[in-house]
Structure 1
């Protein structure tokens, strides 16, 4: 089932607002504390918190600009290192999460970059107690193959996300939480590609997507 562009834009906006509310709210709280605080040590601590919240907000905006928006320049391909930096900025603060890279391509199509970024966000969220996320992409016979392996002590993928990734929107409306999954499915199927999700015997989850290398 396809959803209207307006409804999908609303879902993405809701997801962005939800994810940015916490760091932006922390900025606001920090400024209020700073205005009333006179102790030098406490003011220094407030400044540290403000700096941290601003950095988190900036990293999320950079990621979403590339994952959801029209970032990446005017060409048809994007430097894969730009995507790697965006993923590192979004997930790198999680000290319980290790990121491994298996990127054989220096450039990917904009469509592949968006799929890679959004799959990384979903896979990172699935590692609820941390673990290891291996991210790879390569070209084979005119196809770009994207593979992410999430392994850890507890790997949980929301059933709605799994269903949306593989089958698209259900008969009832999808939630903002599933907006990224719907975007992945829509990009892959529109390009003539596919998305798969499978579980390993060790409880790990493997995410895969295949798209034409020219789109």
Structure 2
């Protein structure tokens, strides 16, 4: 079994990897601003700095909810918070059509973590863009989540699938599969489970997460 320290280290590695590009762009932009005297070029540098700052902020908001304790929300997280984070990630680069099917105003933290990580996996799979459908509901105290990515040439690392099923040994885990392993642990702790199905043009991720009574606020 992977220790909590090892898992935290792998998740930190993933965070650092994902943040390196936008933070590096901020640093480079500031250096250019210090040397540039042409007003038009300085304006262009400012636009790039604003873009990099937004990407950095969006990623940090994602990591806070998807990996962290998400302090300040109690045991349940407003769905609008999760939607805003995923909307921002989906708007970064590739053409993505995002569809939502969530009626509940709040979801338990574990369900939100699973949904966010599913969305991140699905967005990575849509290398040429496509459609991302996200649905979630509470039924008899159980959170049910479905995320579907559909598009041309779905890209999916089968090791992530194995991590979702809890099939990777500690020595096989990496920063790329750590998040999938984490939500598999969350599902197991709740007495639920995760599943996935991949075809050439779609990836479907599903979760059933029983919640302790009184968790939804």
The alignment's TM-score, normalised by the length of structure 1, stands at 0.94
Give the Å deviation of 1:158: 0.3
Report if the CA contact (8 A) 1:72-1:110 is conserved: no
Q: What residue number does 1:145 align with? A: 144
Q: What residue number does 2:193 align with? A: 194
Going from structure 1 to structure 2, the CA distance change for 1:70 and 1:129 (only over 3 Å counts) comes to: same
- Of 63-72 and 8-17, more deviation after overlay is shown by 63-72
Deviation track 1:127-155 (CA, whole Å, cap 9, x = no partner) reads: 11110010010122331100001100111
Report if the CA contact (8 A) 2:2-2:170 is conserved: no
Partners of 1:123 and 1:32 lie apart in 2 by 35
Give the Å deviation of 1:91: 2.0
Count, aligned residues: 213
Partners of 2:57 and 2:128 lie apart in 1 by 25
Matched, 1:23 2:46: no
Partners of 2:94 and 2:129 lie apart in 1 by 8
Partners of 1:138 and 1:185 lie apart in 2 by 19
Deviation track 1:136-180 (CA, whole Å, cap 9, x = no partner) reads: 101223311000011001111101101101124325330101111
Partners of 1:74 and 1:137 lie apart in 2 by 19
* 3-state secondary structure, aligned to 2:41: helix
Question: After TM superposition, which residue ranges in structure 1, 4 or more long, deviate above 4 angstroms?
Answer: none
Q: What residue number does 2:210 align with? A: 212
Partners of 2:125 and 2:52 lie apart in 1 by 23
Partners of 2:93 and 2:142 lie apart in 1 by 32
The alignment's TM-score, normalised by the length of structure 2, stands at 0.93
Output aligned runs, 1:128-207, within 5 Å: 128-170=127-169, 172-200=171-199, 203-207=201-205
Q: What residue number does 2:8 align with? A: 9
Mind listing any 5+ residue stretches in structure 1 that lack a counterpart?
Answer: none
* 3-state secondary structure, aligned to 1:175: coil
Give the Å deviation of 1:213: 3.4
Q: What residue number does 1:127 align with? A: 126
Deviation track 1:43-76 (CA, whole Å, cap 9, x = no partner) reads: 1000110110011001100110111111152521
Q: What residue number does 2:76 align with? A: 77
